[in-house]
Amino acid sequence: MNEQKEQAVASPIKPVVMCDVILGSLWAHRNGNKYKVIALANTRTERPKEYPITVVYENINNGAVWCRKMSDWHRSMTKYT
């Protein structure tokens, strides 16, 4: 029984901390456009350097879909309420 618990803890997949970037959250780009987060990609990757966690987001005015690495997200996006 204890062996099963130890194996579960030793998983190579590390938990991902998303901070305030969650599905459905609204964000404003520094250019003034407003976006909604529609997906988070690569959250279970075992090779984050090759496949970084990526935010997929949609322009709430025209429906254009974009993606950006999570590590670059806060560089030009601020939470919109």
Share of the chain above pLDDT 70, in %: 78
10 pLDDT more than 90? no
Distance CA(76)–CA(32), nearest Å, equals 10
Q: Which amino acid is at 16?
A: V
Q: pTM higher than 0.85, yes or no?
A: no
pLDDT value of residue 16? 46
Instruction: Name the one residue in this structure whose structure tokens are 């976006």.
Output: 35
Domain locations along the chain: 14-79
Contact 58, 35 (CB under 8 A): yes
Mean pLDDT across the stretch 2-13? 48
Q: What is the pLDDT of residues 38-73, one digit of tens each?
A: 999 999 999 999 999 999 999 999 999 999 999 999
